[in-house]
A and B are shown apart, each in its own frame.
Chain A
């Protein structure tokens, strides 16, 4: 069974500080996908990134960066120079490709509060 763990429930940072969100996953599949979603106070779920299990290259998009390490089953997310608009709940998710079903298993989320 697929499982995603996000240990930190709420993280508060002062604006311009960096914040890293940890995500640890469990799967028996050799082919899988990892995702991060953002849920701002308005409530919608916004897709941020997808990573394939066979591609461990880290990725940077503006102030966002992701570190994928299969050896530790982790897919961590860093926001650099945080801004108030980054205040949201961030979810890590896993999809196992073997069954071709695209279903996502979500972690419990990290509530990020950026203090101005």
Chain B
């Protein structure tokens, strides 16, 4: 299996622009997670889906952030408008099922908002 695939790997954008991060989970995994990693806050869970349904978005910092999972093989995280404080590494991860909770991570998207 190819693992979790994220794109782009790097994104540099200007403040105020819309940013869309993409994720393809491991085939057959029921759960999909979006995490953000910063030096100050470490690894934070933003939102997660179970069978394509958003279950908990309490970690989404503001209304500027939104996430979708239109099908089992694709998810997006959108920031509109972006701000410099959104600069971070965004990870997508997936896990198989409740009995197998280990999450497998993509390589991350390093976002820089200038």
Contact = CB atoms under 8 A, between A and B. Distances in A.
Instruction: Specify whether A and B are partners.
Output: yes
Interface of A: 33, 35, 37, 43-47, 50, 91, 95, 97, 100-109
B57 to A, nearest CB: 12
A101 B103 contact: no
B103 A102 contact: yes
Interface string B80-114: 00000000010101010110011111111010000
Contact of A109 (B33, B42, B93, B107): B42
A103 B102 contact: no
B102 A35 contact: yes
Contacts of A91: 43
How many of chain B's residues touch chain A, expressed as a range? 20 to 34
16 contacts: A37-B105, A43-B110, A44-B106, A44-B107, A45-B108, A46-B105, A97-B101, A101-B31, A101-B50, A101-B98, A102-B48, A102-B101, A102-B103, A104-B101, A108-B42, A109-B43
A50 B97 CA distance: 14
Contacts of B93: 45
A101 B42 CA distance: 21
Given A44-B108, A101-B55, A101-B56, A106 B43 contact: yes
A22 B104 CA distance: 23
